[in-house]
Amino acid sequence: MTTRLFGEGIARREDPRLLRGEGRYLDDLGSDALEVAFVRSPHAHARITDIDVADALDVDGLVALYVHEDLPARLREPLPLLIPHPALTQPRTACCLADAVVRHVGEPVAMVVATDRYVAEDAAERIDVTYEPLEPVVGLDAAARGAARVHDDVPGNVAAALVQEVGDVDAALAQAPHTLDLALEIERSASTPLEARGVYARWDADDGTLRVYSSTQTPTSVRFAVAAKLGLPAEKVECVAPDVGGGFGVKIMHPWAEEILVPWAARLLGRPVKWTEDRVEHFVAATHERAQTHDITVGFDDDGRILGLDVRFRHDNGAYVPYGLIVPIITATQLPGPYKLGAYRVAFESLYSTTCPVTPYRGAGRPQACFAMERTVDAIAARLERDRAAVRAANLIAPDEMPYDIGLVFQDGRPAIYDSGDFPATLAKVRELIGWDDFPRLKAEAAAEGRRLGIGLACYVEGTGVGPYEGGHVHVETSGRVNVYTGLSSQGQGHATVFAQIVATELGVPLDDVHVTTGDTRRFPYAVGTFASRAAVMSGSAIALAARKVRAKALRIAAEALEANPDDLEISEGIVRVKGSPGDAIPLKAVAVLSNPLRYAFDESARAATQFALPASEDRPPIADDDEPGLEGRDYYSPLRSTFANGMHAAVVETDPDTAEVRILRYAVVHDCGPLINPRIVEGQIHGGVAQGIAGALYERMAYDEAGQLTNASFMDFLMPYATEIPAIAIDHLETPSPLNPLGIKGAGEAGVIPVSAALAAAIEDAEGIPIHRMPLSPDELHALRARAGGEAS
């Protein structure tokens, strides 16, 4: 079913301003502010034995400097854990400034405040920290060996261990006609947004309020965390996210030390203070994700139907677990994808290492899950010598089995129940789009010319729109302008366009009249934030509900003014009309005037509205009990559980027989996020996601050496694809609506990235005839795999 709710071809309204260079990013603010530089650990693991600041104190322009002991008690405690979990038995979080031991390169040790950044950096350089190096713990093998401990009191470096089982896996494997084992690995990568993190705070002593600007995905969390840590009522802290140049997960506050320390210093010093993260800092002091190893045993029948799947995996959570277990829990629960697994057991260990902490990066555990599952399905097909798409088809959940309970507990603590989707139809579409059935001919023709072509396919299901809630406020001004507020913030997703579309559609007003403000706690103080592909589902639904309230109120007032029944009215182009009698009409802006019993005749529209003076009612006061003045409404959306989007990607690659370079010749995406509010925006999100996925599959990685030094911590050394490496992407959609929210929406923001490594690994494997069990894959690694395969063959 195709439901075009909101119209085609609407361009992103936020772009012209940004393209003209009129964006206001964090570092464009606070030209009068003092600036901060941090002294950060150069060691992966060391004990701090002395900090000598004497030399720094001589620097002209130094305003203040702080080490751990200088902070008030609340700031000396370890930072809070964002999401506790009963399996997280050894949670360890960092302090704002390191207390005695540093556990990754980049950990903040001292904070310097000065008249500008140059002075702050000069002073920071003159702080002499003496370290006693401790043994670094780098990579999952070292972490699991547990010979050296990241935290003295955490044996084996195990932060958490969790097992979920559906059915009897041991029995299923014992009875399966075939079994196979696989070991699969995904390396570390990171969000690396174009704009790094940053925070700028101003203290207003007269009012006792703190204004915090932050390049954040979660302004309300910043507000509450800063208030709690500074001992202020939340009402005295305002947080505004200005234009944000990308986040991709890393700008979720959990909380970040810098986001606490800068406001604290601003209040203490009574002066505006700002910190803008530089690129090297971002590499070593922000967070990473992905690194996991997976051991899999699968049992299956002659048709490739999976009878039992046993997955054991290790998750590298880095030095601390500020975010809890969300990433490995998502891997564990999203691994089954669109398949009906006879029995499934997943067990993971989350391990500390002396590297950057791990928090969600676009996809959050799902790229690893998809890689593990899809490589397994390909291995089954290879063992049975069957078509890979046919093996997938044999395992898919059928549309009439929806809602389908996979029997696991999802990241939100609720049951993981697929609510909608038509997986066989998605498979049929992607086969068509990539040319699956015709590919053997293409491959044979290429082979005749000495060229190596391969095709791959990967499927995923993605829990999106996690709760607990989001709110929306819609206000029709007497000018006719419609203001829309929601508390989460935007980092490039196009919310100002999409939320305006929702309100224009629901309220019947011109799109250009609708203005959206996100990420400003002064406008909307309660919210959760932008992550987990949740804005369209959560804020979109809340805004739609708020707009419906306003519409109902407008119809009620207009009905009185027009002496009609509300059911006989319609609103379009901002005018309320009696159906079938277009002459009987009242503009919505006049309704806004009438919504206030005290009608100010200060402006034109107010005077114009007086012709519609409401009939005086003897049995109703000017403001009835269930009413309030103003044509505005607020509502919240809080779902019982997440809604599950899904999709399939396919790729055709060519590998160079000499250089082992991988070229992507075709890339196809079929995606189902329910009705598309803005098809262009969704396709843009998919393009961006696929590009990020290709980056993670073939180029980007965090190259730690054994000492725990990140050897590629700059854009000179961190290999990124350019537009020239990203192929044209063919996209098709299914729009099966979710029954869980008023718009039938499912999330779209992360989808593009999830299956790329799996699809490309499958295509490379097909081209080369060599099993690919680890991503990313560089040409020299492929070369080495060829050499090894050649050696084994000879």
Residue 494 in contact with ligand MCN, rule: CB under 6 A:
yes
Judged by CB under 6 A, the stretch of 566-574, 636-644, 658-666, 675-683 that binds ligand MCN is 675-683
Q: Look-up: residue for tokens 């670094």?
A: 136
Which CB sits closer to ligand MCN, 283 or 436? 283
Q: How many CB atoms lie within 10 A of CB 432?
A: 14
Alpha-carbon span 493 to 510, nearest angstrom: 22
Which CB sits closer to ligand MCN, 334 or 530? 530
Coil, helix or strand for 160?
A: strand
Per DSSP, which regions of 579-661 are E strands?
A: 581-587, 631-637, 643-655
Question: Among residues 534, 553, 589, 701, which is the contact residue for ligand MCN, using CB under 6 A?
Answer: 534
Instruction: State the minimum distance, in angstroms, from the CB of residue 4 to ligand MCN.
Output: 11
Question: Among residues 159, 373, 458, 498, which is the contact residue for ligand MCN, using CB under 6 A?
Answer: 498
Residue 745 in contact with ligand MCN, rule: CB under 6 A:
yes
Identity at 497, one-letter amino acid code: T
Residue 547 in contact with ligand MCN, rule: CB under 6 A:
no
User: Token digits for 581?
Assistant: 């009698």
Measuring CA to CA, how many Å separate 45 from each of 98, 111, 149? 12, 20, 10
Question: Are the C-beta atoms of 129 and 110 separated by less than 8 Å?
Answer: yes
Judged by CB under 6 A, the stretch of 84-92, 207-215, 494-502, 506-514 that binds ligand MCN is 494-502
Residue 365 in contact with ligand MCN, rule: CB under 6 A:
no
Question: Among residues 463, 471, 674, 737, which is the contact residue for ligand MCN, using CB under 6 A?
Answer: 674
Question: Among residues 218, 350, 655, 678, which is the contact residue for ligand MCN, using CB under 6 A?
Answer: 678
Residue of 573, 555, 572 lying closest to 564 (CA atoms): 555
Alpha-carbon span 641 to 741, nearest angstrom: 10
Burial class (CB in 10 A: 0-12, 13-18, 19+), 679: middle
Burial class (CB in 10 A: 0-12, 13-18, 19+), 601: exposed
Question: Are the C-beta atoms of 714 and 279 separated by less than 8 Å?
Answer: yes
Which CB sits closer to ligand MCN, 108 or 465? 465
Asked if residue 403 has a cis previous peptide bond (ω within 30° of 0), the answer is yes
Judged by CB under 6 A, the stretch of 146-154, 169-177, 533-541, 701-709 that binds ligand MCN is 533-541
Question: Among residues 46, 230, 516, 677, which is the contact residue for ligand MCN, using CB under 6 A?
Answer: 677
Question: Among residues 316, 422, 654, 750, which is the contact residue for ligand MCN, using CB under 6 A?
Answer: 750
Site string for ligand MCN, 763-792 (x = CB under 6 A): ------------------------------
Judged by CB under 6 A, the stretch of 507-515, 526-534, 542-550, 572-580 that binds ligand MCN is 526-534
Which CB sits closer to ligand MCN, 62 or 538? 538
Residues 606-645 that bind ligand MCN (CB under 6 A): none
Question: Among residues 159, 681, 710, 775, which is the contact residue for ligand MCN, using CB under 6 A?
Answer: 681
Residue of 517, 443, 423, 427 lying closest to 475 (CA atoms): 517
Residue 685 in contact with ligand MCN, rule: CB under 6 A:
yes
Residue 550 in contact with ligand MCN, rule: CB under 6 A:
no
Residue 755 in contact with ligand MCN, rule: CB under 6 A:
no
Judged by CB under 6 A, the stretch of 113-121, 309-317, 564-572, 673-681 that binds ligand MCN is 673-681
Question: Among residues 535, 557, 713, 756, which is the contact residue for ligand MCN, using CB under 6 A?
Answer: 535
Side-chain-side CA neighbours of 550 within 13 Å: the count stands at 34
Alpha-carbon span 791 to 115, nearest angstrom: 63
Question: Among residues 106, 249, 487, 696, which is the contact residue for ligand MCN, using CB under 6 A?
Answer: 249
Residue 574 in contact with ligand MCN, rule: CB under 6 A:
no
Residue 676 in contact with ligand MCN, rule: CB under 6 A:
yes
Residue 360's contacts (CB-CB under 8 Å, 6 or more residues apart) are 249, 252, 289, 323, 326, 327, 330, 531, 532
In which element (H, E) is residue 673 found?
none
Instruction: State the minimum distance, in angstroms, from the CB of residue 632 to ligand MCN.
Output: 22
Residues 458-487 that bind ligand MCN (CB under 6 A): 464
Could you give phi then psi for residue 633, rounded to 5 degrees? -160, 155
Residue 748 in contact with ligand MCN, rule: CB under 6 A:
yes
Site string for ligand MCN, 400-439 (x = CB under 6 A): ----------------------------------------
Alpha-carbon span 246 to 237, nearest angstrom: 24
Instruction: State the minimum distance, in angstroms, from the CB of residue 691 to ligand MCN.
Output: 11
Site string for ligand MCN, 189-218 (x = CB under 6 A): ----x-------------------------
Residue of 140, 186, 184, 183 lying closest to 697 (CA atoms): 186
Alpha-carbon span 78 to 229, nearest angstrom: 11
Question: Among residues 389, 532, 761, 782, which is the contact residue for ligand MCN, using CB under 6 A?
Answer: 532
Q: How many residues bind ligand MCN (CB under 6 A)?
A: 37
Structure letter (DSSP) for residue 753: G
Which CB sits closer to ligand MCN, 3 or 581? 3
Q: Look-up: residue for tokens 């059911």?
A: 567
Residue 253 in contact with ligand MCN, rule: CB under 6 A:
no
Question: Among residues 66, 203, 213, 248, which is the contact residue for ligand MCN, using CB under 6 A?
Answer: 248
Residue of 419, 337, 353 lying closest to 647 (CA atoms): 337
**For the CA atoms of the chain, what is the radius of gyration?**
28
Question: Among residues 682, 713, 777, 782, which is the contact residue for ligand MCN, using CB under 6 A?
Answer: 682
Range 55-84 burial, b when 16+ CB lie within 10 A, else e: ebeebeebbbbbbbeebeeebeeebebbbe
Question: Among residues 110, 186, 265, 536, which is the contact residue for ligand MCN, using CB under 6 A?
Answer: 536
Instruction: State the minimum distance, in angstroms, from the CB of residue 247 to ligand MCN.
Output: 4
Question: Are the C-beta atoms of 493 and 245 separated by less than 8 Å?
Answer: no
Residues 50-109 that bind ligand MCN (CB under 6 A): none
Residue 531 in contact with ligand MCN, rule: CB under 6 A:
yes
How would you classify the pairing of strands 158-166 and 344-352? Answer: antiparallel
Would you tell me which residues interact with ligand MCN (CB under 6 A)? Answer: 193, 246-249, 362, 464, 491-495, 498, 530-537, 540, 673-678, 681-682, 685, 688, 745, 747-750
